Amino acid sequence: MFNAIRIDKDEAGYRSTLASIDESALPEGDVVVRVSHSTLNYKDGLAITGKSPVVRKFPMVPGIDLVGEVESSSHPDCKAGDRVVLNGWGVGETHWGGLAQKARLKGDWLIPLPERFTPPQAMAIGTAGYTAMLCVLALERHGVKPGDGEIAVTGAAGGVGSVAVAILSKLGYTVVAVTGRPEDADYFKHLGAADILPRSELSSPGKPLGKERWAGAIDVVGSHTLANLCATTRYGGVVAACGLAAGMDFPATVAPFILRGVTLAGIDSVMRPRADRLEAWARLATDLDLDKLGSIGREVSLAEAIPLATELLEGRVRGRIVVDVNR
């Protein structure tokens, strides 16, 4: 038996509870992992609360991230005792995820835990930090350099935003934290932000083109915010889009793209090829200040994750939530 958060949907309704589950109920896979820590991401919040149809089959164990030790394996690249990390791959949506003490998974989904990180540190990074690193890599590949000008990071108080600010500042970029939480100014400055911009400056309908400001941007919001970022990005700049916190719509024109040569780079973290994952985690090991990581994450128990899901969706959670599944 092992403990897990289980989501059920039946005649009694939609509910998430802390449950004791027999190991025989684990889904198919060629690797069994003793989970050490998981996280609470925005998608996990949607799954636990049922606010959006994230879960595709029931019962489901949420948790799109996990870190742990291989208990048994028939996969050629995994052996008992290996410390591994998983991000995405539909885990927590179509396959039981990491908010549990045990997981049975496909070995192709797992990568080695970088030696620099402890399990809690890896989950303080999680999908959010791994996505942030993918966004930074996209800016670099499109030629955005530290001396080119300001980089906007929206949703700066969240997991992706917090890690993105920390990485970019360490790499020498001038980062502007875009947020609805100006009271957290000291937090953003600690992460390395050079300036703070109220999210209201970008969240309303704007013009097809605005005054050029940004050399690049990382956006987790979508909708008018993404449109306004594109409209105010400098000639040849790059906007990396990885989220839709404000909606899936994109009320923009082609003007920034055909008149200023702006690039809109879409960032998917769920189905990313293994080589990209290894590169992103290797760069995290060198480009993320662990002292700053400590201020980004906080640790909770498995049971505490359920009520925290609502707080996360309401924007009342700063940084990252690390879940010790054995507490």
Looking up tokens 């990885």 gives 242
77 Cβ contact partners less than 8 Å away, ≥ 6 residues apart? 107, 110
154 closest CA partner among 68, 203, 219: 219
Beta-carbon count within 10 A of 240 CB: 28
Q: What angle do CA 106, 108, 114 make, to 5 degrees?
A: 110
Q: Can you give the pLDDT at residue 182?
A: 86
Q: Can you give the pLDDT at residue 296?
A: 83
Looking up tokens 């742990």 gives 68
Residues 205-214: tens digit of each pLDDT: 999 999 999 9
The 3-state secondary structure of 167-236 reads HHHHCCCEEEEEECCHHHHHHHHHHCCCEEEEHHHCCCCCCCCCCCCEEEEEECCCHHHHHHHHHCEEEE
DSSP label of 57: S
- Spatial distance between the Cα atoms of 193 and 321, rounded to a whole number of angstroms: 21
Q: Can you give the pLDDT at residue 297?
A: 78
Burial of 58 (0-12, 13-18, 19+ CB in 10 A): exposed
**Lookup: tokens for 248:** 């899936």
Q: What is the mean pLDDT of residues 81-86?
A: 98
Q: What is the mean pLDDT of residues 169-197?
A: 95
Confidence of residue 316 (pLDDT cuts 50, 70, 90): confident
Residues 291-302: tens digit of each pLDDT: 888 888 789 999
Q: Can you give the pLDDT at residue 294?
A: 81
Choice between 105 and 296, residue whose per-residue pLDDT is larger: 105
Helix spans in 87-171 (H):
119-141, 159-170
Confidence of residue 222 (pLDDT cuts 50, 70, 90): very high
Work out the mean pLDDT of the chain and round it to a whole number.
Answer: 96
Given a cut of 90, is residue 90 above it in pLDDT?
yes
Residues 251-288: tens digit of each pLDDT: 999 999 999 999 999 999 999 999 999 999 999 999 99
Given a cut of 90, is residue 177 above it in pLDDT?
yes
Q: Can you give the pLDDT at residue 89?
A: 97
Which domains can be identified in the chain, with CATH numbers?
A: 2-113+294-324 (3.90.180.10), 126-266 (3.40.50.720)
Residues 11-49: tens digit of each pLDDT: 989 999 999 999 999 999 999 999 999 999 989 999 999
Q: 299 in helix, strand or coil?
A: strand
Burial of 81 (0-12, 13-18, 19+ CB in 10 A): exposed
Burial of 203 (0-12, 13-18, 19+ CB in 10 A): middle
Tell me the sheet residues that pair with 72.
32
Q: Can you give the pLDDT at residue 319?
A: 83
- Type of residue found at 9: K
- Spatial distance between the Cα atoms of 186 and 179, rounded to a whole number of angstroms: 13
Given a cut of 90, is residue 318 above it in pLDDT?
no
Given a cut of 90, is residue 317 above it in pLDDT?
no
The length of the chain in residues reads 327
pTM assigned to the model: 0.93
- Spatial distance between the Cα atoms of 229 and 246, rounded to a whole number of angstroms: 14
Residues 124-160: tens digit of each pLDDT: 999 999 999 999 999 999 999 999 999 999 999 988 9
Q: What percent of the chain has pLDDT over 90?
A: 91
Q: Can you give the pLDDT at residue 30?
A: 97
Residues 163-173: tens digit of each pLDDT: 999 999 999 99
Q: What angle do CA 194, 290, 122 make, to 5 degrees?
A: 120
